[in-house]
């Protein structure tokens, strides 16, 4: 991992249009007025039951692997000449290696982001961010404190897994995408479920977005997509015009313009957990002027937390963004790991930092699914006291 | 809503009248647009549940007005529903209404396109409706048909169902034909004999109606291109239009005078063509649409002054798999119809375009901006053709119409009417664009004159008695037309031999 830094995510160069609601899904179009066309994305589909991505070492050699169902990847091309040519062509070139496993196939791939040509990069959207999230403090305790199990000391958190939900698991989401009316300058969308920000997907060029719109169904989302499934419809937010202030057609036109601006402001506020939030980023790839970074928000359990990938141009324009909202449990796990790592994996110190007792911390670790890190005896004792 | 007339009456009675009027307006409105098919935002199931409910509710509460709706110019699907429901519940007709109801059923059935009318008769059997009146109506309908042996060939299954259900004895060789078909040795009626021969001889099938010949051609293994070329003289107008694409694929051509096609069908055909084809044939298509609009107006003239049309070409106008591009087609047809009937005309599309012929359903729905542009032009009449969903920003159009009506034009110098080709099943009505604008359902742009006449009831200003008078007047006209001549509707549609046509698929 490269060095980390913090930055604020700002929707520079973008504009929000009024939302379109279907059931409890609210989709907010993200528009871009100035399209430069030197960064394009195309989708490459994989038809395999499973994908194994080797993160370190060669393709078929032993080493750290990321295993997931990966329905598609994104091929990113930059630089004026190249980008123009690539846009619209099919980029179905061999990618990694396909192995047969009974009736299924498994694809073995190199790296999360892999350069394929001078100005072309293949990346696995969201998996990139998820891998970064899974790899946080993956090494486990650096000091051999006696409470940790032998397993934790020698292998760290390996193997670590998280659950997510594919877009097509929600029929409402499918229908919402079908009836959504794409704007001409639209480059992205903010997805709200029961008026909670679930994901943001922004690319650089409107044509690319149009091509990727239905593929949003194949991406994965936080558990929130299924939670609140029975909650009533997202409220119809209706702004009205103050008729006392309208005396002419020009006034009426102004009032509609004001209505549109109010919508944008309000939705910007609704997405406040992401836009304007302080995030910790680390650079994954430097592609000419474009730096692909992955990020995590504060991980404070009381706030909404997102992980994702972002590309920001040198002048601050947001060119690419894809985010995943962590569920409460996922946040809790990451938060505990972060606290432990911050305290040098010392349970007492970490407990003090959390303003709790050592036993309580052990129980919390156990409840969060990290029981395997601790010695059996430590765990049993703590559970008895709790 | 209470008008002066209501003020002197008993308030409970006035309220009852208001409810009756609203129910009725809702029903007629639904009957203009709904066909029980899938729409962009609603599925077919929801649509049919909603429309069935409305039918049952109105039939149960306002039987006389329910029957009279047959004359209101509603679409064929709902006419058929009403006919069936009335025939199924004949016992509940009050004695004083029996005459009128019977006459209405008979003439409405006769005015339906033949395939729809025969479908109604077939449904009588499926729904096990077999009372004396239903049998009499079926018998009378068959007696009124100009060429029953043609019907026996073209609608054989439906006619057989009707005959078997009503235990009828048809003249000549028809009964043996219906029940034995081609297995009987020989017929003396030429068409029936051709039908029999066509099962053995390829040459004979080209004298049969297209839909029948099509299946037999498959049986004889005649190549599609050859078949289309030789059957051409037998095609009806609707079939000609429908087969243009198929003929082009087979490198053939089917002669058609596009200007004679019904306006909305023609618009839908134009929209089905690729943009480059439309650009190449621009002059021809444009002329055909203008001609067709002029023909429509000749039948039902609507003189209009300065008219602005606000037309929706957002993505939702693409309709559904069952009603492909219908909202867009209605908008395009309305554009030509209004430009032909208005003294001055301008169109305002939601996503502006240079040439209406290159129209496609794309982008978000911003109805407020084109409406503001239209109102700025200061027209006498604004016609909005839209599915009623606006999302950029949501509800803006309702606010614009409200403020415009209350603040800027309280004297109603400019009248605004919203024609909606989409029935929203969750509302049991077409979706509106604000409480102060009347919304009326519409299936074909050709119905616009009828629908504009109905708009004043949708606005809620006119009392129930006026609506009753309006319907009664239309009933009188329908019955008079029915008595004058039993000239079949279809003869005007054919291009070659006078064969009956399918009007509405």
Query: Which of A242, A256, A267 should one mutate to test binding to chain B, selecting the residue with the greatest count of B CBs within 10 A?
Result: A256
What is the pLDDT at residue B30? Answer: 94
pLDDT-derived band at B2 (thresholds 50, 70, 90) equals very low
**pLDDT tens figures, A253-311:** 999 999 999 988 888 888 888 888 889 998 888 888 888 999 999 888 888 899 999 99
What is the pLDDT at residue A83? Answer: 56
What is the pLDDT at residue A376? Answer: 87
DSSP for residue A184: T
Question: What's the CA gap between A49 and A67, in Å, rounded?
Answer: 11
Q: What angle do CA A263, A265, A268 make, to 5 degrees?
A: 105
Tell me: pLDDT of B284 over 90.
Answer: yes
**Residue at token pair 């020698």:** A154
**pLDDT tens figures, B160-217:** 999 999 999 998 899 999 998 877 778 999 999 999 999 998 889 999 999 999 999 9
Tell me: pLDDT of B313 over 50.
Answer: yes
Per-residue CA distances from A183 to A30, A64, A207, A209, B316 (Å): 9, 42, 11, 10, 12
More confident: B458 or A187: A187
**pLDDT tens figures, B352-400:** 988 999 999 999 999 999 999 999 999 999 999 999 999 888 889 999 9
Q: What is the pTM of this model?
A: 0.88
**Do the bridges between strand B381-385 and strand B304-311 make them parallel or antiparallel, or are there none, so unpaired?**
parallel
Question: What's the CA gap between A359 and A341, in Å, rounded?
Answer: 18
Question: What's the CA gap between B353 and B95, in Å, rounded?
Answer: 58
Contact predicate A236/A72, CB 8 Å: no
**pLDDT tens figures, B62-115:** 999 999 999 998 999 999 999 999 999 999 999 999 999 999 999 999 999 999
Write down the ipTM of this complex: 0.86
Q: Which chain A residues touch B363 with a CB distance below 8 Å? A: 181-184
Helix, strand, or coil (residue A223)? helix
Q: What is the mean pLDDT of residues A17-33?
A: 91
pLDDT-derived band at A58 (thresholds 50, 70, 90) equals confident
Q: Which chain B residues touch A248 with a CB distance below 8 Å? A: 408
What is the pLDDT at residue B460? Answer: 77
More confident: A288 or B331: B331
Which residue on chain B is closest to A259 by alpha carbon?
B393
Q: What angle do CA B321, B322, B323 make, to 5 degrees?
A: 95
Phi and psi at residue B237, to the nearest 5°: -60, -45
Q: Which of A183, A236, A243 sits opposite B406 (nearest CB)?
A: A243
Residues 6+ apart with CB under 8 A from B160: B178, B179
What is the pLDDT at residue A134? Answer: 87
Q: Which chain B residues touch A20 with a CB distance below 8 Å? A: 364, 391, 394
Contact predicate A16/A28, CB 8 Å: yes
Find the helix or strand (DSSP H, E) in which B416 lies. strand B415-420
pLDDT-derived band at A141 (thresholds 50, 70, 90) equals confident
Which residue on chain B is closest to A249 by alpha carbon?
B376
What residues of B are in the A interface, CB distance below 8 Å? 40-41, 314-316, 351, 362-365, 368-369, 372, 375-376, 391-396, 399-400, 402-404, 406-408
Contact predicate A178/A6, CB 8 Å: no
Q: Tell me whether residues B314 and A181 touch, CB distance under 8 A.
A: yes
User: Residue A274 burial by CB count (10 A; 0-12/13-18/19+): exposed, middle or buried?
Assistant: buried
Tell me: pLDDT of B501 over 80.
Answer: no
């Amino acid at each position: 991992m490269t060095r980390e830094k913090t930055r604020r995510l700002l929707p520079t160069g973008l504009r929000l249009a009024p939302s379109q609601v279907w059931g409890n899904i609210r989709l907010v179009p993200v528009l871009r007025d100035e399209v430069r066309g030197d960064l394009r994305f195309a989708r490459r589909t994989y038809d395999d039951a499973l994908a194994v991505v080797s993160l370190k070492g060669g393709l078929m050699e032993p080493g750290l692997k990321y295993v997931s169902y990966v329905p598609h990847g994104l091929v990113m091309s930059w630089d004026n000449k190249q980008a123009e040519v690539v846009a619209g062509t099919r980029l179905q070139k061999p990618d990694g290696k396909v192995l047969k496993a009974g009736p299924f196939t498994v694809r073995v791939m190199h790296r999360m982001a892999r350069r394929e040509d001078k100005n072309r990069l293949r990346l696995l959207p969201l998996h990139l961010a998820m891998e970064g999230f899974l790899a946080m403090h993956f090494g486990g305790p650096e000091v051999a404190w006696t409470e940790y199990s032998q397993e934790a000391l020698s292998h760290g958190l390996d193997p670590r897994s998280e659950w997510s939900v594919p877009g097509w698991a929600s029929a409402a989401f499918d229908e919402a995408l079908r009836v959504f009316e794409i704007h001409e300058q639209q480059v992205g969308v903010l997805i709200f479920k029961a008026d909670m920000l679930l994901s943001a997907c922004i690319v650089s060029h409107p044509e690319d977005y149009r091509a990727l719109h239905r593929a949003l169904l194949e991406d994965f989302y936080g558990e929130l997509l299924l939670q609140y499934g029975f909650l009533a419809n997202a409220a119809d937010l209706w702004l009205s015009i103050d008729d006392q202030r309208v005396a002419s057609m020009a006034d009426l036109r102004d009032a509609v313009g004001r209505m549109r601006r109010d919508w944008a402001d309000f939705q910007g506020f609704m997405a406040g957990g992401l836009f304007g939030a302080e995030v910790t980023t680390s650079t994954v790839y430097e592609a000419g002027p474009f730096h692909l970074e992955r990020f995590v928000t504060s991980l404070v359990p009381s706030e909404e937390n997102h992980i994702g990938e972002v590309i920001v141009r040198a002048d601050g324009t947001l060119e690419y963004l894809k985010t995943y909202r962590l569920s409460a449990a996922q946040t809790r796990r990451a938060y505990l790991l972060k606290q432990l790592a911050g305290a040098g994996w010392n349970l007492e110190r970490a407990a003090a930092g959390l303003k709790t007792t050592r036993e309580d911390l052990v129980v919390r670790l156990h409840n969060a699914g990290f029981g395997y890190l601790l010695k059996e005896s430590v765990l049993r004792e703590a559970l008895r006291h709790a | 809503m209470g008008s002066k007339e209501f003020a002197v009456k008993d308030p409970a009675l006035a309220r009852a009248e208001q409810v009756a009027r609203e129910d009725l307006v809702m029903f007629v409105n639904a009957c203009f647009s709904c066909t029980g098919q899938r729409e962009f935002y609603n599925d077919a199931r929801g649509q049919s549940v909603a429309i069935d409910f409305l039918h049952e509710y109105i039939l149960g509460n306002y039987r006389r007005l329910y029957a009279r709706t047959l004359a209101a110019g509603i679409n064929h699907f709902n006419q058929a529903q009403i006919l069936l429901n009335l025939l199924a519940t004949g016992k509940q007709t009050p004695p004083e209404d029996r005459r009128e109801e019977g006459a209405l059923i008979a003439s409405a059935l006769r005015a339906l396109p033949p395939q729809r009318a025969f479908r109604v008769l077939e449904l009588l059997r499926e729904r096990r409706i077999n009372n004396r009146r239903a049998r009499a109506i079926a018998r009378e309908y068959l007696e009124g048909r100009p060429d029953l042996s043609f019907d026996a060939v073209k609608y054989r299954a439906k006619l057989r169902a009707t005959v078997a259900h009503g235990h009828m004895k048809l003249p000549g060789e028809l009964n043996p034909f219906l029940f034995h078909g081609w297995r009987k040795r020989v017929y003396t009626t030429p068409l029936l004999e051709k039908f029999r021969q066509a099962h053995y001889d390829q040459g004979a099938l080209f004298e049969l109606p297209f839909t029948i010949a099509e299946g037999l051609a498959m049986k004889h293994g005649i190549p599609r291109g050859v078949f289309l070329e030789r059957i051409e003289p037998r095609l009806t107008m609707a079939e000609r239009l429908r087969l243009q694409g198929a003929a082009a694929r087979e490198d053939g051509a089917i002669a058609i005078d596009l200007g004679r096609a019904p306006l909305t069908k023609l618009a839908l055909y134009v929209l089905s063509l690729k943009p480059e084809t439309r650009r190449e044939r621009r002059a021809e298509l444009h002329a055909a649409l203008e001609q067709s609009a002029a023909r429509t107006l000749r039948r039902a003239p609507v003189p209009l002054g300065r008219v602005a049309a606000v037309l929706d070409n957002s993505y939702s106008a693409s309709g559904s798999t069952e009603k492909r591009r219908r909202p867009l087609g209605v908008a395009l047809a309305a554009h030509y119809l209004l430009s032909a009937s208005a003294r001055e005309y301008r169109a305002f599309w939601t996503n502006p375009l240079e040439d209406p012929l290159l129209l496609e359903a794309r982008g978000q729905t911003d109805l407020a901006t084109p409406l503001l542009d239209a109102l700025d032009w200061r027209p006498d009449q604004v016609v909005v053709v839209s599915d009623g969903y606006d999302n950029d920003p949501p509800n803006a159009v309702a606010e614009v119409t409200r403020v415009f009506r209350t603040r800027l034009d309280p004297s109603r110098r400019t009248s605004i009417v919203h024609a909606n080709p989409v029935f929203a099943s969750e509302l049991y009505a077409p979706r509106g664009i604000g409480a102060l604008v009347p919304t009326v359902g519409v299936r074909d742009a050709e119905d616009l004159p009828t629908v504009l006449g109905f708009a004043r009831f949708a606005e809620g200003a006119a009392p129930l008695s006026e609506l009753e008078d309006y319907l009664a007047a239309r009933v009188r006209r329908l019955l008079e037309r029915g008595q004058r001549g039993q000239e079949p509707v279809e003869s005007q549609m054919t291009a070659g031999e006078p064969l009956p046509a399918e009007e509405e698929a």
